[in-house]
Chain A
Amino acid sequence: MRVLTLIVDFVDRRLGVRELFDKELRGYLLPRNVNVWYTLGAVLLALFGLQILTGILLLIHYVPHADQAFASVQRITNEVPFGWLVRLLHAVGANVIVIALLLHMLSVLFMASYKGRREFTWLSGFGLFNLAMALCLTGYLLPWSQLSFWATTVATEAPGAIPVVGDLAREFLRGGATVGGQTLGRFFALHVVALPLALLGLIGLHLFCVKRRGISPPPFGSDYRSQELPAAFVHEEHRGGIPFFPNYVVKDAAVICFFLALLLGIVFFAPNLFFPPAAFEPADPFVTPPRIKPEWYFLWAYQTLKIFPSELIGLGVQGAFMTLLALLPFLDRGPERRPAKRPIFVTVFFLGLLVFVAISVWGHYS
């Protein structure tokens, strides 16, 4: 303890870390009625951290070459000590991240936390969601299994429906006419360097926006009042709230532990939950396995393309939906945030959720 105090004293005299700690963590107050949904940001940070750690470990043994990628992943899984654990934490962790991301986004939507001049927070969060999806898509190809190869073939086929530039866009994405070694090379570079760098930058921007504007309080309870904002910038403070450290950090830690338990539960008791049989066969460009499907979080997009008579209309509908979601804070401008006083929004919210689940299930069984 004494050594630790001496070290902190040494750093504090040079950088004033105690003052920083008191001001930014102990003195950072959150609304008293803050709920469990507010911890999902910290959960996502922890899960992204785990992805970076396991990703670096996998890079030690993974070979990004069409002739060796599958064998290198098999070697990681079957021969490298605890390689199976590192690989499963990475692959299953990606799925748990998507679950946490969806819950985070849905809770922000339901509580209308994007309101009150929080457009940048929402947009950076929306960007993070899309980056995470891109990371999932590019990472999916890397094991170079039949599943990887054909799911990527299906996914990269979609841009081909865009008029005029469709073929060019598809070839540019793949690095050639079909998925091959050149696709693996560019997906590898995107997955390992470009997208994680962009993700880290956007996480920084997102956290800055959250901290600078101030936490949006939950729109529940008898004390809650809708606010009209002054013309100038205002930092939303929560006087008399609970300190971020230690009170809220403990809550964050508890929910992080819950998600880690979920992740480890799948890794130990249902390791193949996200791996159909085609994930265990090496990629064969001449044999398409039957009933090839994208990952569960892309099923809605996959099925939407099949519902409409032309792929172009399907793509247009997806594009329109994503654009509407991105621009929501600019369209939904009323100050009211309480769900009970926004019946139309809440109805659309639950119907939208139902349609998303229904289309995904349809996509899975079609």
Chain B
Amino acid sequence: MDAPSNLPPSRRRTFLLILAGGLGALLAGAAGWPLLRFLAPASRGGAEQAVSVPRAAVAAGTAHFFQYRGKPAVALQLQPGEYTALSAVCTHLGCVVQWQEATGEFLCPCHGGRFSPAGAVLAGPPPRALEILPVVVDGDQLRIG
């Protein structure tokens, strides 16, 4: 039979606590990682790819809204054959701007910010112009981004 341990009970208790704590941390990690991954924002697979919009959807003088890399964007045909694409997210507080066909400008419905068709700030609180997105005409499609 082994000789009885000379360690005082308090030290044995500390050792057991550290052991239990370590094991608990290991188990918490094993359970926490799937939880973290489950709750993590969805991956933006293909998020950097260009978006195609049919040219026919963007008639002259009108605006066509679409999703661009997870955010709303808008394409315009200012002059026949001359296309522009902008982020539709107001630079003030993130609302989505609306196209005002009568005045030919964008209006943010939240705080009255106004933007030109090229995205420049005309009035209101927005601190910056709307983000301009690169557009390439590719046959009957517009390739944006």
Residues on A close to B: CB < 8 A? 57, 60, 80-83, 85-86
Contact = CB atoms under 8 A, between A and B. Distances in A.
B16 to A, nearest CB: 11
A80 B34 CA distance: 11
Contacts of A81: 34, 37-38, 40
20 contacts: A57-B35, A57-B38, A57-B39, A60-B38, A60-B39, A80-B38, A80-B42, A81-B34, A81-B37, A81-B38, A81-B40, A82-B34, A82-B35, A82-B37, A82-B38, A83-B38, A85-B34, A85-B38, A86-B34, A86-B38
Nearest to A61: B38
Contacts, number: 20
A87 to B, nearest CB: 10
Interface string B9-39: 0000000000000000000000000110111
Contacts of A83: 38
The CB with the most chain B CB atoms within 10 A, among A60, A82, A83, A86, is that of A82
In this complex, the interface size class of chain B, counting residues with CB under 8 Å from chain A, is: under 10
Nearest first, the 6 A-B pairs at minimum CB distance are A82-B34, A81-B37, A82-B38, A82-B37, A85-B34, A81-B38
Interface SS, A side: helix
B61 to A, nearest CB: 37
B44 to A, nearest CB: 13
A57 to B, nearest CB: 6
Interface in B35-52: 35, 37-40, 42
A83 B34 CA distance: 9
Nearest to A58: B38
B72 to A, nearest CB: 22
Contacts of B42: 80
B106 to A, nearest CB: 33
A37 B34 CA distance: 32
Nearest to A82: B34
Given A57-B39, A83-B38, 6 more contacts: A57-B35, A81-B34, A81-B37, A81-B40, A82-B34, A86-B38
A80 B37 CA distance: 8
Contacts of A82: 34-35, 37-38
Nearest to B17: A1
Nearest to A85: B34
A85 B38 CA distance: 10
B62 to A, nearest CB: 31
A47 B54 CA distance: 53
A73 to B, nearest CB: 15
Contacts of A80: 38, 42
A160 B97 CA distance: 55
Nearest to B14: A1
The CB with the most chain A CB atoms within 10 A, among B35, B38, B40, is that of B38
Nearest to B43: A81
Contacts of B39: 57, 60
A83 B40 CA distance: 12
Contacts of B40: 81
A305 B10 CA distance: 63
A150 B59 CA distance: 50
A319 B79 CA distance: 78
B2 to A, nearest CB: 24
A80 B43 CA distance: 9
A86 B38 CA distance: 8
Interface string B108-133: 00000000000000000000000000
A86 B37 CA distance: 11
A82 B39 CA distance: 9
B22 to A, nearest CB: 14
A81 B34 CA distance: 7
A82 B37 CA distance: 7
A116 to B, nearest CB: 37
